[in-house]
Structure 1
Amino acid sequence: MKKISLSILSFLVIAVVAMAPISDKYVSTKTHIKFFSTTPVENIEANNYAAVSTLDTGTGDVVFSVPMQGFEFEKALMQEHYNGKDFLNTKKFPKAKLTAKITNLSEIDFSKDGSYAATVSGEMTIKEVSKAINEKGTITVSGGNITVNTKFDLTLSDYGIEFKKGKPASNIAKTIEVTVVAEYNKQ
């Protein structure tokens, strides 16, 4: 009787394990976001290594959470202006967020090493202003780890960031270049 009970219990354990969903979630705590502004007056670059991202390879869902005070500038005064009330007001709006989906998920084999062109569609929110986005990037799979690279332009006025006069109007580009590199590990 014990042998039959043990066999049934073993069968149930194997069945439950086999039917449990396999986690397709990856997390990036090694995310580098850089923005670059170029004007005839000066170039401005800032780097942020504090962003966090999740990627679900089963559904194609991608989420980025970016602490806006995490951007570091070459000059302290630039950082002060960036965080101030007249620019991003990072005390009032501490995070930016991207919620998107990989639209060509069927073309990406996350189980096979290689580089894959990816397209994402979703919504980016900065200063509580949300805008639809459609961007391209590259997903690299290597040894079970995933790296995402993308570069895109962001128009500041789309998110309520505008300067009509003064130094910021001539020193900050209306459209900035954003570069993202995110290294994901299985959760």
Structure 2
Amino acid sequence: MQSSNTSQIPSPFLGTIMEVCIVTPSAKHTMDGLLKLGIGPFQVFSFNSDTVPTQQYRGGLGSFELKVCFAKQGALTFEIMQPISGPSLMAEYLEKSGGNEGIQHVAFDLGNVPMAERQARMKARGFDVAMEGRWKGRRGECHFCFFDTEGSTGTVFESIEFSKDWEDPECLWYPAPPGQDAGVEHGLKK
């Protein structure tokens, strides 16, 4: 398809895709499915008021709890999010989808510019912050920010900024830590 107004297309600025997220009512079910495809093992975290003390949702203070699972696949991270309680974009997604899991957002690095500039660039293009938080690591923090892009793109775009001193917090592994037998019990395996 050719357009005669290509001079009106803004220059790209999203950068590299870092992460694809599946929102699900059952993180274990989704992890088991991805493990069959060779994606995993998964680090499993709880995002709550202790681990993410700064939470914002739709312009106000947030109070959400999510089970969040990460698996690296080359340079891409697969993320699984299961809403536990409180209003969140992930709970909205499950409500709209009739409780069916699916890809709810993709995360871009936005060329590694500071988060305030990322937010200003997105706002200038008409996309406000829909949800954000600051996740505490063992050291440092991760500032994550979801933009209200769904109405224009069909999905949510996220940007993530890790502090230079970031160290992952303690986690559970599913089905087992890398290099260990998956048949061994590790927190989530029944």
Question: Please, what TM-score do these two structures have when normalized by structure 2?
Answer: 0.32
Question: Please, what TM-score do these two structures have when normalized by structure 1?
Answer: 0.32
From the CA coordinates, give the structure whose radius of gyration is larger: 1
